[in-house]
Amino acid sequence: MVNAIINLYLKKEENMETTFDMFIETEVPEDELIISRTDFSGKITYVNETFAEISGYETHELIGKPHNVIRHPDMPKSAFADMWETLERGDTWEGYVKNLRKDKGYYWVFARMSTVIKDGKPVEYKSVREPVSYAKKIEMQNLYDEMRAKEENQTRVVLYIDNNLLADAEALEKT
Ligand SMILES: Cc1cc2nc3c(=O)[nH]c(=O)nc-3n(C[C@H](O)[C@H](O)[C@H](O)COP(=O)(O)O)c2cc1C
């Protein structure tokens, strides 16, 4: 079972690990916001407690790191190119992002990124994130899979399975 699932992960990047953890999703709670701020180069200057908890890092491990520390390999390059262009124009970017946890699991967010203005001057970037519905996650996974296939020639098939099945598979893996 586990091998069947893992074999669905068709990797093209040699150093991309395929571990069971990659299939574990962390659900973002409905009532909490995940917040981060960065300097103009995308280096993290602040994260709230919820950000640290959801991403599986300690706050101090994230401060000073480039924000791509949580970049998931499923995210197409063009999504971030669009994000940076939008921010650099001074506009707000909104979009769905699949992020990589420290333990290689993942979580989906709807992110809104914008420039922080102080005394009329841009000082840094900020991002606030909200949970994503199940249907939207599937839609975005399919869209990003297509985009990546076109942009980077990478094939990856993601299988959505019931949580109970996943627990059974995990138990089997341990035997
Ligand atoms: C305020 C802000 C928040 C960001 N949040 C994320 C994020 O949650 N996940 C992510 O993968 N990239 C995020 N990025 C984009 C990263 O800086 C980076 O461009 C992206 O991960 C792609 O990595 P790469 O540039 O190395 O290809 C954010 C950037 C800014 C300015």
Tokens found for residue 143: 């869209």
Which of 39, 54, 71, when mutated, tests ligand 1's pocket best, judged by the most ligand atoms within 8 Å of its CB? Answer: 71
- Residue 168, pLDDT > 60, answer yes
Lowest mean pLDDT across 2-11, 55-64, 88-97, 150-159 = 2-11
Q: How many alpha carbons lie under 13 Å from residue 58 in its C-beta half-sphere?
A: 2
Distance CA 5, CA 100 (A): 19
pLDDT, position 159: 63
pTM value? Answer: 0.81
Minimal-distance CA residue to ligand 1 atom 3: 127
Distance CA 112, CA 93 (A): 6
pLDDT, position 11: 43
pLDDT, position 128: 97
pLDDT, position 172: 73
pLDDT, position 175: 67
Distance CA 61, CA 59 (A): 5
Q: Which one, of 159, 157, 168, 34, lies nearest residue 101 by Cα?
A: 34
CA distances from 82 to 74, 89, 113, 131, 154 (A): 16, 11, 12, 21, 20
What per-residue string of b and e applies to 102-120 under the rule 16 or more CB within 10 Å gives b? eebbbbbbbbebbbeeeee
Which of 37, 44, 68, 75, when mutated, tests ligand 1's pocket best, judged by the most ligand atoms within 8 Å of its CB? Answer: 68
Tokens found for residue 60: 């101090």
Mean pLDDT, all residues of the chain = 85
Which of 83, 85, 99, when mutated, tests ligand 1's pocket best, judged by the most ligand atoms within 8 Å of its CB? Answer: 83
Task: Give residue-wise pLDDT tens across range 48-77.
Answer: 999 999 999 999 999 999 999 999 999 999
Domain hosting 130: range is 2-174
Pocket lined around ligand 1, Cβ cut-off 6 Å: 36, 38, 42, 67-68, 70-71, 75, 80, 87, 97, 99, 111, 113, 125-127
- Residue 150, pLDDT > 70, answer yes
Q: Are 118 and 74 in contact (CB under 8 A)?
A: no
125-148: average pLDDT? 94
Distance (angstroms) between ligand 1 centre and the Cα of 40 equals: 11
Task: Give residue-wise pLDDT tens across range 2-45.
Answer: 444 444 444 444 445 555 667 789 988 888 899 999 999 999 99
Tokens found for residue 54: 């959801």
Task: Say how many domains are in the chain.
Answer: 1
CATH number of the domain to which 165 belongs: 3.30.450.20
